[in-house]
Amino acid sequence: PYTLGPKITDWDAQRETWNTLNAGMNQTLSGKPKTLLVSGSQPGPCANPMGDFYHLKFLKNRIDYARLHGLEFFYNMATFEKEMSSFWAKLPLLRKMMLNHPDVEWVWWMDSDAIFTDFTFEMPMEKYGNNNLIVHGFHNLLYEQHRWIGLNTGSFLIRNCQWSLDLLDALAPFGPQGPTRVKAGELFTEKLVDRPAFEADDQSALVYLILHGDPKWKAHTYLEWEFFLHGYWKYVVYNYEEMMAKNHPGYGDERWPFVTHFVGCKPCKLGANAENDECFRQMERAFNFADNQVLEKYGYSHRALGSFKTQKIRRDSSDPLGLENVEHSEQIISEQE
Ligand code: UDP
Ligand code: MN
């Protein structure tokens, strides 16, 4: 079967040796284990230029979140293994990230169609103990109902360790483009509840391994449901205004979703239809909802969630650091294009 590369069996020991030789490298400035945020999109242009416009906006969103929370960030636009195309591209990429960044403890994958919508919230890493995979999902949907949407692989954290390399190795044989992927798709559709007939995807492969593979996969996977590590866009985007009226960032859950993921939208594909128009409209709103939290520091906000136009919300001050404790007014000063 297909493999991602030479079998590695002692990665934990190799990493430990490297980190001993390079003491201090494996911590952030504030002394925490390092997290590398990883995302990517296809090497060529989108058939629909609007798709690239939103790739760029969503990339900016990740750069902002990583900057504000001390995450390292890698964005990939290269094909690493041609057999591992589309949603399978993350497998060889994650392996490369782990092997070439032994100082990094966690690799955080985020789909190109997902964005951070709570800029205050941080992953509660202390609750995950010795789990190696943190993924959004629901116990009843996954373990009781065996549904293919029991978890979502659009945004997850995976520990840089032997278990994770083994998981990638176990997933990889389902992925090669062509007959292998088609056959695996048939198996997943047969075994997983409500899965439509289509070629194998990485999410189904993970669900399949957790339910039917080695028990060690389930044993070290943490299903996160207390906040939106992945938030299905249709459940959150229509509530943004109400959230802004009633709540504030920092919750990460339905009060203020951590991540909004545009599952099912195909922004890169050509062909305008009502569904696609709604995707773009809501992507703009999600981006602005998030971006308001970034712009606030600089005294700006978007005029409306649906508008890329901005407005000044504070008068500039001769005491920008507030050292003299003067009152700052919060009102619309002037509208910007
Ligand atoms: N992806 C990538 N390179 C590619 C194709 C896809 O890095 O050549 C990534 C991209 O981030 C995308 C994810 O793989 O969001 C999942 O792929 P899928 O086709 O499921 O796209 P989605 O429906 O999530 O946009
Ligand atoms: Mn996605």
User: Residue 67 is encoded by which pair of tokens?
Assistant: 């900057």
Of how many residues is the chain composed? 337
User: Residue 200 is encoded by which pair of tokens?
Assistant: 């194998």
Q: Is the CB of 44 under 6 A from ligand 1?
A: no
Question: Could you give the C-alpha distances from 234 to 9, 135, 257, in angstroms and in order?
Answer: 42, 19, 12
Mean pLDDT for 117-134 is 98
Nearest to 95 by CA among 182, 104, 26, 86: 104
Per-residue pLDDT tens digits for 16-63: 999 999 999 999 989 999 999 999 999 999 999 999 999 999 999 999
* Confidence category of residue 64, pLDDT binned at 50, 70, 90: very high
Per-residue pLDDT tens digits for 202-256: 999 999 999 999 999 999 999 999 999 999 999 999 999 999 999 999 999 999 9
Give the Cα separation of 240 and 257 in Å (integer): 9
At residue 273, the pLDDT reads: 83
Cα 265 to middle of ligand 2, angstroms: 8
CB 264 within 8 A of CB 293: no
Give the Cα separation of 110 and 74 in Å (integer): 11
Q: Is the CB of 90 under 6 A from ligand 1?
A: yes
Is pLDDT of 331 > 80?
no
CB 60 within 8 A of CB 71: no
Ligand 1 atom showing the smallest separation from residue 110 Cα: 11
Q: Is the CB of 155 under 6 A from ligand 1?
A: no
Mean pLDDT for 95-113 is 98
Ligand closest in space to the Cα of 110? 1
Mean pLDDT for 156-162 is 98
The DSSP annotation for 22-51 comes to TTTTTB-TTSPBEEEEEEE--SSPPSSHHH
Is pLDDT of 332 > 80?
no
Buried b (16+ CB within 10 A) or exposed e, 154-166: bbbbbbbbbbbbb
- The DSSP code for 255 is T
Give the Cα separation of 151 and 128 in Å (integer): 17
Ligand closest in space to the Cα of 76? 1
Per-residue pLDDT tens digits for 3-23: 999 999 999 999 999 999 999
Is pLDDT of 334 > 80?
no
Is pLDDT of 179 > 60?
yes
Q: Is the CB of 89 under 6 A from ligand 1?
A: yes
> By alpha-carbon position, which residue is closest to atom 18 of ligand 1?
87
Nearest to 262 by CA among 239, 241, 291, 231: 231
> By alpha-carbon position, which residue is closest to atom 9 of ligand 1?
41
Cα 41 to middle of ligand 1, angstroms: 6
* Confidence category of residue 327, pLDDT binned at 50, 70, 90: low
Is pLDDT of 333 > 70?
yes
At residue 37, the pLDDT reads: 98
Nearest to 306 by CA among 277, 331, 334, 328: 277
* Confidence category of residue 329, pLDDT binned at 50, 70, 90: low
User: Residue 221 is encoded by which pair of tokens?
Assistant: 């996977």
Is pLDDT of 326 > 60?
no
- What does DSSP say about strands 72-76 and 34-40: parallel, antiparallel, or unpaired? parallel
Q: Is the CB of 87 under 6 A from ligand 1?
A: yes
Q: Is the CB of 81 under 6 A from ligand 1?
A: no
> By alpha-carbon position, which residue is closest to atom 4 of ligand 1?
42
Q: Which has more confidence, 332 or 9?
A: 9
* Confidence category of residue 264, pLDDT binned at 50, 70, 90: very high
Nearest to 38 by CA among 86, 81, 95, 82: 95
- The DSSP code for 87 is G
The whole-chain average pLDDT of the chain stands at: 96
Q: Is the CB of 113 under 6 A from ligand 1?
A: yes
User: Residue 1 is encoded by which pair of tokens?
Assistant: 């079967």
Helix or strand or coil: residue 214? Answer: coil
Q: What percent of the chain has pLDDT over 70?
A: 98
Per-residue pLDDT tens digits for 265-303: 999 998 778 889 999 999 999 999 999 999 999 999 999
Most distant pair of Cα atoms in the chain: their distance: 69
Burial tier of 3 (Cβ tally within 10 Å: 0-12, 13-18, 19+): exposed
User: Residue 212 is encoded by which pair of tokens?
Assistant: 């039917």
Mutate to test the pocket of ligand 1, among 42, 112, 266 (most ligand atoms within 8 A of CB): 112
Q: Is the CB of 86 under 6 A from ligand 1?
A: yes
> By alpha-carbon position, which residue is closest to atom 2 of ligand 1?
41
Give the Cα separation of 58 and 267 in Å (integer): 12
